[in-house]
Amino acid sequence: LPGRLLIHALQNLGLDEDCRRILADHGVDLDAVAEIEADPALGNGGLGRLAACLLDSVANLGLPAYGYGIRYDCGLFAQQIENGWQVERPDLWLGHGNPWEIPRPELVYPVRFGGRVIDQGTPARPGHAWIDGDEVVATAYDMPVLGYESRRLNTLRLWSPRAAHELDLHSFNNGDHAGAFSRKNAIESLSQVLYPGDAAQTGRELRFKQEYFFVSASVQDILRRFLRRRRSLDRLPDDIVIQINDTHPSLAIIEFMRLLLDRHHLDWQHAWHLTRRSFAYTNHTLMPEALETWPVRLFESLLPRHLQIIYEVNDRFLRNVACRRAEDPALIRRMSLVDEEGERHIRMAHLAIVGSRKVNGVSKVHTSLMCRTTFADFAALYPGKIVNVTNGITFRRWLHEANPELVALIRSRIGDRWFSHPDELAALAPHADDPAFRAAFRAVKHRNKLRLIDLIARECGVAVDAGSLFDVHIKRIHEYKRQLLKLLHVVALYDRLRHDASLPGASRVVVFAGKAAPGYAMAKLIVKLIHDVARHIDGDPAVAGRLQVAFIPDYSVSKAQVIIPAADLSEQISTAGHEASGTGNMKLALNGALTIGTLDGANIEIREAVGEENFFAFGATIDEVAELRAGGYDPRRYCPDGTELKGVLDLIASGHFSPAAPDLFKPIVEGLTGGDPYLVLADFAPYLQCQERVEADYRDVEEWTRRAILNVSGLAGFSSDHAVRRYAELVWNAGPRVGETASADRAEPHAAAAAE
């Protein structure tokens, strides 16, 4: 999710002000031009945006790097709302082409599926050949990744599939015109949609093929560029490192092994030594349902050679484990790359850990949990292998571009050296005590709110008041991110106000945005409930001017750049222990929002950085969550008759917000009272108490502004530049090479580029 690139590129080149002035001289508004650009739909949620931030920082620091992915025809999906329900439409971001991409027709690689493996070796030198099956051709498209002040030009290389043979001419000539193109269409479906639905077997198989398609092309490209310099393969780990962003690319480890074994004819020990030293793995989740596994049968039918290599890796690994801990047979089952319970699956996270030089978590608490819980066996086996690199965000996008007025205000006080040295933003802290600076800060926030008000009016048809507290919950819709907890608070406020409109407190605008996965029924029902509650509140004169709810559809980087600078309150309320890090928490705090949050993920480090008094913490801690679950958590004890929570749940269950379908939201209430896996009800009372502190503190305008400024300055250490420096030091052993470009292979002859 790199976001629109025009303004970003102009700022990095130092041309934005000149361009804006020159266009204005000709009656053209640069911002209106920028609005024409489509958001590149290349990722999903925070993980896709994090990848873009890291690529930006790698270029800014002068490190030579490529990013790799698939050139999707359609992104995740375009979210539309019809009668409150999410409806998915194709996100046709390439409908008018992509002016930033450079087609590389000379860079093509074969990618094989299916077929069979034959033994071509001898007892002294084993060898295998993977033959037959279907072959797909991966073609490269390059997008520039420009460092700040043009320090370096790196490349995001995207792969597009095409059939080796465009059509079956025999079938076409025999009248089967549709069938003649069926194979071509099936192959090109690899890049049609990001994350196809996996409820059906065909969708799951397509995801599996997408993952292998892009890692195979990428690994072939990496080895081609390395060998072009005519260096010994022994130099591989010294010259390159391949960072796996979660488990989706972890097949790259086995593809790397396959090429070293079958194409370059290395022996096993040599190939595995080079592979393990060439890869590094970032883990982004410990949730069991999100730890990727693939059925063995998919490998058997689509990647038979890779399954052989996985079995060999696993056999050698488990023999090593058994030598160290022979007295613990259960350990073998826990650590195996193959899950033998039920249908056999390959555990991709285990593969990534075993096949990497370093493994990192993305916040201090997440890394600690990796070592203490899910991957404790691996942490004991490989002391020091699991390290922490807390996520970061690029200030160049999330402050310079998203909030230019605030940037101008900050520059007026501390200069602009922090543009390239983000740690120096901390120098802003003393200005929080200056009344004139606070007044100017509030004026910027007010104008940013007016921009968001325009967006809400266009997208939601709702008029909101800029004097309200802007309370923002913008995330992928998921039960652990607890949009429901925020919504229960909204219903509680509504119920209080409709019974007593004279209650003290600030008027509040609650802004939601985010997409629910197409197959996630509960998440989509939550979206519907948000809309029905919003519509009901908007039509009730008893709460007019005091409480409003807006759900901004089709959340994107561009919309985030409008929402985030306007926020007063940042909702980071995941169940403790479930959010590995978060980056929305950083973006909102960097733009002057105070955070209300659980002690989860990077929230803990943000709270330490900005000061506990400038962060609204609430709810069960990670250890308390574990204790509640271990003790047989019963959510019903938190909502006995007569309590506010029981009243809120009854309002929802009774059909108050859905009179035409009174039972519509009963599944939500039944899920909360029957099991409540994310402890929404346990945290409801502490959350409401914390929100009452928010309301009281917001009424002190000067103090709130002071704390907001301290949040901006306190985020100095959360730049993705800082995260990339830690990767370079802890994981990559890499240093900057300012002045080079990572695009040198554009100058080589086409034949040489395609020789691999």
DSSP conformation class of 59:
H
Tokens of 447: 């104008």
Radius of gyration of the chain measured on its C-alpha atoms: 27
Average pLDDT on 668-694 reads 98
* Cα→Cα distances 90→87, 147, 148, 244, Å: 10, 32, 33, 28
Q: What is the pLDDT of residues 540-561, one digit of tens each?
A: 998 988 999 999 999 999 999 9
Nearest to 687 by CA among 508, 509, 489: 489
Please, is 630 exposed, middle or buried when counting C-beta atoms within 10 Å of its C-beta (0-12, 13-18, 19+)?
exposed
Per-residue pLDDT at 180 exceeds 70: no
User: Is the model's pLDDT at 747 over the cut of 60?
Assistant: no
- Phi, psi torsion values for 408, nearest 5 degrees: -65, -40
Q: Is 646 a catalytic residue?
A: no
Is there a catalytic annotation at residue 481?
yes
314 membership: H or E segment, kind and range: helix 304-324
Residue 171 pLDDT: 64
Span 594-608, average pLDDT: 98
pLDDT single digits (tens) 434-488: 999 999 999 999 999 999 999 999 999 999 999 999 999 999 999 999 999 999 9
Rounded to the nearest 5°, which phi and psi values hold at 338?
-110, 120
**C-alpha angle 644-650-655 in degrees, rounded to nearest 5:** 140
Rounded to 10°, the helix 435-460/701-714 angle is 90
For residues 390 and 605, the answer to whether their CB atoms sit within 8 Å is yes
Alpha helices of 73-200 — where are they, by DSSP H?
169-173, 177-180, 182-188
CA distance to 16, 20, 28, 447, 741, per residue, from 24 (Å): 12, 6, 5, 21, 33
Q: Is 165 a catalytic residue?
A: no
Q: Could you count the other beta carbons within 10 Å of the beta carbon of residue 394?
A: 28
pLDDT of residue 752: 28
Say what the pLDDT of residue 221 is: 98
pLDDT at 185 over 90: no
- From the CB of residue 722, how many other CB atoms can be counted at a distance below 10 Å? 16
Q: Is the pLDDT of residue 737 over 70?
A: no
For residue 600, give the amino acid letter. D
**Whole-number percent of the chain with pLDDT over 90:** 84
Distance CA 347, CA 291 (A): 8
Which pLDDT belongs to residue 742?
A: 44
Q: Are strands 78-82 and 85-89 parallel, antiparallel or unpaired?
A: antiparallel
Residues 222-241: b if buried by 16+ CB within 10 A, e if exposed: bbbbbeeeeeeeeebbeebb
Task: With beta carbons less than 8 A apart as the criterion, state whether 153 and 146 touch.
Answer: yes
Question: Whose CA is closest to 271, among 316, 319, 303?
Answer: 316
Catalytic annotation present for 598:
no
The reported pLDDT for the residue numbered 44 is: 83
Tokens of 38: 């489509």
Averaged pLDDT for residues 715-740: 86
348 has pLDDT over 90: yes
Quick one: 332 exposed, middle or buried, by C-beta within 10 A (0-12, 13-18, 19+)? middle
Length of the chain as a residue count = 756
Active-site annotation holder among 71, 476, 707, 725:
476
pLDDT given at position 589:
98
Distance spanning both ends of the chain, measured CA to CA: 30
Task: State the chain's mean pLDDT as an integer.
Answer: 92
Mean pLDDT of 702-718: 98
Which pLDDT score, from 0 to 100, does residue 178 have? Answer: 62
CA distance 582 to 474: 12
Give, as one character, the DSSP assignment of residue 131.
E
Q: Which of 501-505, 580-584, 704-708 has the lowest mean pLDDT?
A: 501-505
Identify which has the larger pLDDT, 324 or 283.
283
Per-residue pLDDT at 451 = 98
DSSP 470: E
Determine the Cα–Cα distance for residues 509 and 174; give it in Å rounded to an integer: 64
528 among known catalytic residues: no
* C-beta separation of 431 from 548 below 8 A: no
Q: What average pLDDT does this structure show over 31-45?
A: 90
Is residue 104's pLDDT more than 70?
A: yes
The tens digit of pLDDT for each residue in 286-330 reads: 998 889 999 999 999 999 999 999 999 999 999 999 988 777 889
CA dihedral 340, 344, 350, 356 (to 10 degrees): 130
The pLDDT of residue 502 is: 82
**CA 133 vs CA 174, 178, 356, 493: distances in Å:** 24, 22, 30, 61
Report percent pLDDT > 70 for the chain. Answer: 95
**3-state SS, residue 513:** strand
pLDDT digit string (tens) for 206-226?
999 999 999 999 999 999 999
Residue with tokens 């019963």: 634
Candidates 20, 18, 17, 14; CA nearest to 32 is: 20
Distance CA 692, CA 508 (A): 12
pLDDT digits (tens, 9 = 90+) for 15-28: 999 999 999 999 99
Distance CA 406, CA 712 (A): 10
Give the active site residue among 445, 587, 607, 706: 587
**Dihedral angle computed from the Cα positions of residues 53, 58, 62 and 65, in that order, rounded to the nearest 10 degrees:** -130
The single residue of 225, 258, 284, 706 carrying the catalytic annotation is 284
| Over residues 112-117, mean pLDDT | 96
Catalytic, out of 481, 508, 524, 707: 481
Q: Active-site residue among 139, 285, 390, 583?
A: 583
| 190 or 188, higher pLDDT | 190
Contact 218, 68 (CB under 8 A): yes
Nearest alpha carbon to residue 363 among 579, 571, 576: 579
Distance CA(115)–CA(130), nearest Å, equals: 7
184 is catalytic: no
C-alpha distances out from residue 671 to 387, 534, 620, 678, 687, Å: 37, 22, 20, 10, 20
Res. 396 pLDDT band, cuts 50 70 90: very high
Residue 355 to residues 281, 288, 360, 382, 531, Cα–Cα distance (Å): 9, 21, 13, 12, 46
- CA distances (Å), 418 to each of 104, 327, 425, 442, in order? 37, 56, 6, 22
